[in-house]
């Protein structure tokens, strides 16, 4: 029994030693050659010959059209670069406050619902004779920043037409001399017959529908008047023609002896359209 037990003991010890070894080891084997990284390759001509080199990073993307435009712009403008925003900087608070204060002051003097028409609301103006009077009158002092030599008592329809004429007719006509800073007002509201002729119809001046302009003052101080500077051409002629359509009646030195020294502008309707002479 003792002999059998000894044999069994020797066999149990020898079996692990005699067992076959596994084909692969569970322990990682040290790599003898670096694994080839993924990525595009290029061929490089060296002294040792042509070899393949692996790029670890993809090639740089070409610039987009927008990026190229920003680079070109930065070369032309010193303070702009592709890393800077094209959005302008916010204005200082004091600048905004000053602008808003000026706007409030202008709005307080606005008439006819237009900030470019500065003056005072007057309301109803009764006429001393039949046919005269203004329902909703304003006393206009300036138009689009252009001062009137005297405050004009007219209605809003006439005031709006005057503004359009100044913006689109007068200032462009006097572009070489101007800008125009003042209009010489010869007449506005007056309850009287046309041309002050007894028996004539009530003038459009008596309805707040008309204003007479006799001259224009430039920012330089130069004064251009109808009586002295009318030649039938030049800025006076251009501004006279520009009033036709904006106003329904436009009369000047060529119309009759009563308008040798001023432009008469009114809003009277005519069947055949605007009447301009």
| Residue with more model confidence, 28 or 160 | 160
What pLDDT does residue 200 have? 82
Round to whole Å and give the CA distance between 165 and 175: 14
pLDDT, average across residues 122-126: 94
Domain spans of the chain? Answer: 95-276
Distances in Å between the Cα of 141 and the Cα atoms of 36, 44, 148, 152, 161 are 88, 85, 5, 7, 15
What pLDDT does residue 17 have? 46
What pLDDT does residue 47 have? 60
> Contact 165/242 with Cβ under 8 angstroms?
yes
pTM above 0.75, yes or no: no
Confidence of residue 18 (pLDDT cuts 50, 70, 90): very low
Q: Return the structure tokens found at 83.
A: 């890393």
**Per-residue pLDDT at 4 exceeds 80:** no
Round to whole Å and give the CA distance between 166 and 150: 16
What pLDDT does residue 235 have? 96
Mean pLDDT is lowest, of 34-43, 170-179, 257-266, for 34-43
Is the peptide bond preceding residue 179 cis, with omega within 30 degrees of 0? yes
What pLDDT does residue 6 have? 56
């Amino acid at each position: 029994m003792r002999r059998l037990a000894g044999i069994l003991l020797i066999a149990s010890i020898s079996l692990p030693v005699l067992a076959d070894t596994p084909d692969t080891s569970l322990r990682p084997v040290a790599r003898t050659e670096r694994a080839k990284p993924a990525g595009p390759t290029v061929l490089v001509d060296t002294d040792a010959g042509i070899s393949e080199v692996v790029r670890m990073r993809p090639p740089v993307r070409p610039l987009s059209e927008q990026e190229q435009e920003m680079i070109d712009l930065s070369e032309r403008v010193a303070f702009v670069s592709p890393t800077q925003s094209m959005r302008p900087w916010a204005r200082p608070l004091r600048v905004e406050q000053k602008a808003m204060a000026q706007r409030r002051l202008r709005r307080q003097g606005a008439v006819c619902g237009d900030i470019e028409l500065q003056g005072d609301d007057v309301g109803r103006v009764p006429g001393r004779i039949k046919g005269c009077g203004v329902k909703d009158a304003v006393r206009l002092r300036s138009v689009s920043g252009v001062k009137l030599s005297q405050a004009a008592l007219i209605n809003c329809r006439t005031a709006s037409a005057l503004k359009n004429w100044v913006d689109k007719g007068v200032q462009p006509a006097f572009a070489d001399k101007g800008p125009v800073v003042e209009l010489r007002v010869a007449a506005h509201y007056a309850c009287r017959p046309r041309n002050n002729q007894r028996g004539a119809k009530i003038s459009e001046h008596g309805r707040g529908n008309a204003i007479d302009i006799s001259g224009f003052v430039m920012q330089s101080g130069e004064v251009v008047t109808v009586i002295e500077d009318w030649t039938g051409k030049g800025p006076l002629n251009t501004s006279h023609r520009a009033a036709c359509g904006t106003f329904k009646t436009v009369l000047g030195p060529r119309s009759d002896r009563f308008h040798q020294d001023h432009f008469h502008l009114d809003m009277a309707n005519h069947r055949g359209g605007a009447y301009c002479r």
